[in-house]
Structure 1
Amino acid sequence: MAKDVDERASQSTEYPLGVSRPPLAVADLPEPEEVFKVRKLGVRQIIQFVIGPSLIALGISVGSGEWLLGPGAIGEFGFVGVGWVITVSAILQTFYNVECARYVTATGEVPIVGFGRVPPGWKLWVPFSLIAFYFAFIFGGWAAGAGQGLFALITGRVHRPDEIEWVRLLAIGLLLVVFLITALARKVSRTLELANWVIVGTLLAVLIVVCVLIVPWSTWWEGVRGLVTPAAPPEGITATTLGALAGFTALASGLNWYAMNHYRDKGYGMGSKVGFLSGMRGKQEEIRSVGVTFPDTPENTTRWRRWYKLLMIDLWLVFFCGAMIGMLLPTILMAHVVTTSGDVPTTANVPTFTAEHLGADYGQGMFYLMLTVGVLVLFSTQLGIFEALVRNFTDAAHATSPRLRRRLEGDPRKFYYPYMLVVLVVIAAALHLALPVELVQISANMSNFGALMFPFALMYLNSRLPKAARPRPWHYVILVLNVLFFGFFFVNFAYEFITGGPLVSF
């Protein structure tokens, strides 16, 4: 059957893929130089023009798993038996990101729209995907954590329990800052990339300097050894706690697809033929409601291999390496602080724990420096997640509703910005549900829920791409491992949520 589709597509202007959605249009893949408007792609051009979507994903991941959950777990339980979960999670999630980006690059359709092609069709998969995504991230734990750090930065001290409302108001204020950043952008994705270049680059540079100056090399070695040493989890830790760490190491396990839209807006492959979301200062070009793919010709096969190599650079060199470094540095710093202070972090004070203790040891300057790093880290997460909540709903509604497209008159910004204000109000209410880290733990385990089904949806979609873009058999094996690894942790979370006690503890 796939062979018949390939033969028809090579001779047609349409490419049928899946169910309930119109066939993809067909056009030749562009050369990367054509898309990025350079004469030749060298190292400098790749850094300047090609790398970007992975930075947005990295900026999101660093603020939840790397800054909150990783240091919190390792501060309480140590490296050995916890670190390997971080490494396995990062490897599996990067492979999963590659498969999400493969579909976007080959078709120009973002995942939330592509899932609508999976049987029984978009009326199930699009709403279900949005519900799973929103249920994981609408609670706003990342925003609450940023507000907590900002309160301490402004007042010079950690907030008291009766001041929690001020923390929430600061978190809401930071959400308004995100709205202004996107509104003032010419191209939303490019602005997010540049913001994360600055934020992620600054925080990694500061963390490297601080860790080199104050963390003993023995702790560095323990951190590295913990990441690569398979060992039984430490006594007292539950599978739910490990699942939160696994879910938010290197992004959001089964829900990583929500950040892959930026490959379309960046212009990777066929994304360059579909359109992108402009900011208020830019000129909005019409975004196609149906994607475009390419015929199987020798020329397109060669071009696909070039695009796939660029994906590998963006995801493995930047995203994976950045996530591992971003996890190592805060965790060894946390381990050092726990050792020297004799104290351990709690869910209530993880966002400010390191700054508070380092300030006591090294003075107010260190206190403010680490608070600034914490606020930057959590704000980068806030920036990416808040925008993604709005972007994915906008993309889904625009692609599936002809009536909405007619009302928007080719300009999805008419929906994007008003809807962003609606989401802001909802998150502002959700911030009052629990402590910041508790909210993030809920989000992380709900991300593991997504790993139970979305890898299978990707297998269906990617196996029907043009022959040159299809995954190799071992890629499907990796996707099944994603299901088993993250699914195990979600089952434990669900059991504990229902019964009040962990299914598996160590």
Structure 2
Amino acid sequence: MSEVADDARTVQLGKTRPPLAVDDLPEPEEVFKVRRLGPAQIIKFAIGPSLIALGISIGSGEWLLGPQAVGQYGFIGVGWVILVSAVLQTFYNVEIARTVMATGESPVVSWGRVPPGVLVWVPLSVFIVIFAFIAGGWAASAGQGMYALVHGEVAPAGAEEPRIWAIALLVLVFLITVAARRISRSLELANWVMVGTILAGLLLIDLFVVPFSQWWEGIRGFVTPAMPPDGITATQLGGLAGFTALASGLNWYVMGHYRDKGYGMGYRTGYISGLRGERPELKAVGVTFPDDELNRGRWKRWYRLLMLDQWGVFFIGAMLGMLLPTILMAHAVEVSGERPTAATVPTFVAGVFEEEYGRPMFYVALVLGVLILFSTQLGIFEGMVRVTTDAAHGTSPRLRKLIEGDPRRFYYPFMLLLIVVISVVLHQALPVNLVQWSANMSNLGALIYPFLLMYLNSRLPRPARPRPWHYVILVLNVLFFGFFFVNFVADLIGDPLITF
């Protein structure tokens, strides 16, 4: 349970972190600066963090691992893994955002409240996120698409130029954040454009070229329980499960955007601004709310907005984002008589469509592919920088003094350092193999963070605490994604736990 400290306006949550200040939840209208929050205002102002997550989602899993698995093995026995993963991850996202809304702290900082405390969970969490995504498979895949878009042909094996394009796109992410007034808002607007273009473009192409039988096969594959097909490995399924929707156990690295958006108590703690924006105070310690009638009503309003953002935008978008590319891939496999490999999957559809439908379709498919992979690159790269910045700023008084309380003085130099490191790492393997590594490392998080969430969420103010069945869903996350990580490790050191 949370404990009220000596000062009646602070509450101690967990261990080794300072107590939370206490203040009233803001009204959504106060946060979004509108007179009334109707449907138009919700779309314009309240929807946002889910789009950043969706921009990452429609990428490594949906454009690479999902289409590769379906292209090689078909929908039946694969599709149900996608559906279960998306449902579990959306529930998981809601539970992570619950902590953010109730405390105003980013998840990486909140983990420090769980025993044994900040010295264990905060550096470990930063390490796991960087270790999972530093491989840069998402960047290398985007570079392959850019090469094909510029040269009008698929890059030859081992070509260096796609990696140069990957690095150039990393620099573009840096420039986007530099030009931003409020970084989270700039990411939202970029993803409104990219995700909208991606889903609309894929839908139009699928409606014109994919026969109804393959639409039905894809939809049926999602809801048909079946054993995985012969030949697929549990490691491949683990990569698909890990990067369907977002990043399984590591989804928390994106949920800090609810703080910057001003959801709940996030409005009381501040945000990371861009270089062009004003420098608001970003509090190192969060703020929570009292359990009274006023705040119970306001919490319900914020929770409804969260549910709309996650289930109405993220879940539906993630399912469409997996269905539309995979049926397109299935059609490309059928008309070409070939199957994608780890080396060819980023540009496979574009190559087939050029032969079948002409040069314009080649470029349309490439543009969509580059947008898909760049939206992923934008979110993952910025997310690594954000998590490290939040952790350093929130837990190190010495650093806060050094940077004079301005997190941007850490954020931007660290982003430049990451560009250098990823530029080296992405030379080490094929992009899709790097992505499978990242996805299975994401599954590692499912063995850790659901338990930390149970500890934190059970100690939130009473209106914010989850219902008992929410804990059951978190345990299912552990069992489902955790199995795939254990199998991944077993496969690395010897033999996988299960073969098909």
**Fold conserved (TM > 0.5)?**
yes
Structure-2 residue corresponding to 1:84: 80
User: How far apart are 1:364 and its partner, in Å?
Assistant: 0.7
Counterpart CA distance in 1 for 2:131 and 2:248 is: 14
Structure-1 residue corresponding to 2:199: 204
Amino acid at match of 1:366: M
Deviations 1:365-408 (CA, angstroms, capped at 9, x unpaired): 00011000000000000000000111100000001100110111
Structure-1 residue corresponding to 2:180: 185
CA contact (8 A) 2:14 2:115 kept: yes
Taking the TM superposition and a 5 Å limit, the aligned residue runs for 1:402-421 are: 402-421=397-416
Structure-1 residue corresponding to 2:101: 105
Counterpart CA distance in 2 for 1:18 and 1:250 is: 30
Distance 1:117 1:162, change over 3 A: closer
Taking the TM superposition and a 5 Å limit, the aligned residue runs for 1:90-169 are: 90-163=86-159, 165-169=160-164
Structure-2 residue corresponding to 1:504: 498
Counterpart CA distance in 1 for 2:272 and 2:308 is: 24
Counterpart CA distance in 1 for 2:214 and 2:164 is: 38
User: How far apart are 1:410 and its partner, in Å?
Assistant: 2.1
Deviations 1:101-121 (CA, angstroms, capped at 9, x unpaired): 000000000000000000000
User: How far apart are 1:211 and its partner, in Å?
Assistant: 0.1
1:222 matched to 2:228? The reply is no
Amino acid at match of 2:497: L
Structure-2 residue corresponding to 1:26: 22
Match of 1:439 among 434, 443, 458: 434
Structure-1 residue corresponding to 2:377: 382
CA contact (8 A) 1:10 1:296 kept: no
User: How far apart are 1:9 and its partner, in Å?
Assistant: 7.1
Amino acid at match of 2:228: P
User: How far apart are 1:411 and its partner, in Å?
Assistant: 1.1
CA contact (8 A) 2:138 2:376 kept: yes
Deviations 1:255-308 (CA, angstroms, capped at 9, x unpaired): 000000100000000000000011111011110000000000011001000000
Local SS of the residue matching 1:161: coil
Structure-2 residue corresponding to 1:368: 363
Amino acid at match of 2:496: P
Amino acid at match of 2:60: S
Taking the TM superposition and a 5 Å limit, the aligned residue runs for 1:304-383 are: 304-383=299-378
Counterpart CA distance in 2 for 1:277 and 1:162 is: 39
Question: What stretches of structure 2 of length at least 5 have no aligned partner?
Answer: none
Amino acid at match of 1:32: P
Matched residue pairs, number?
A: 500
User: How far apart are 1:11 and its partner, in Å?
Assistant: 8.3
Structure-2 residue corresponding to 1:397: 392
1:176 matched to 2:175? The reply is no
Counterpart CA distance in 1 for 2:165 and 2:103 is: 41
Structure-2 residue corresponding to 1:38: 34
CA contact (8 A) 1:10 1:295 kept: no
Counterpart CA distance in 2 for 1:65 and 1:242 is: 11
Structure-2 residue corresponding to 1:303: 298
CA contact (8 A) 2:5 2:19 kept: no
User: How far apart are 1:161 and its partner, in Å?
Assistant: 1.7
Counterpart CA distance in 1 for 2:259 and 2:190 is: 19
Counterpart CA distance in 1 for 2:152 and 2:19 is: 58
Q: Kindly, what percent of the aligned residue pairs are identical?
A: 67
1:249 matched to 2:233? The reply is no
Deviations 1:171-211 (CA, angstroms, capped at 9, x unpaired): 00000000000000000000000000000000111100000
Amino acid at match of 1:136: A
Counterpart CA distance in 2 for 1:469 and 1:73 is: 40
Local SS of the residue matching 2:135: coil
Local SS of the residue matching 1:25: strand
CA contact (8 A) 2:13 2:459 kept: yes
Question: What stretches of structure 1 of length at least 5 have no aligned partner?
Answer: none
Counterpart CA distance in 2 for 1:244 and 1:375 is: 21
Deviations 1:445-478 (CA, angstroms, capped at 9, x unpaired): 0000110010000000010000000000000000
1:66 matched to 2:89? The reply is no
Local SS of the residue matching 2:265: helix
Deviations 1:67-99 (CA, angstroms, capped at 9, x unpaired): 110000000000000000000000000000000
Structure-1 residue corresponding to 2:44: 48
Structure-2 residue corresponding to 1:240: 235
CA contact (8 A) 1:187 1:277 kept: yes
Counterpart CA distance in 2 for 1:21 and 1:469 is: 20
Counterpart CA distance in 1 for 2:345 and 2:218 is: 19
Local SS of the residue matching 2:341: coil
Deviations 1:198-228 (CA, angstroms, capped at 9, x unpaired): 0000011110000000000000000000011
Counterpart CA distance in 1 for 2:406 and 2:278 is: 9
User: How far apart are 1:12 and its partner, in Å?
Assistant: 1.5
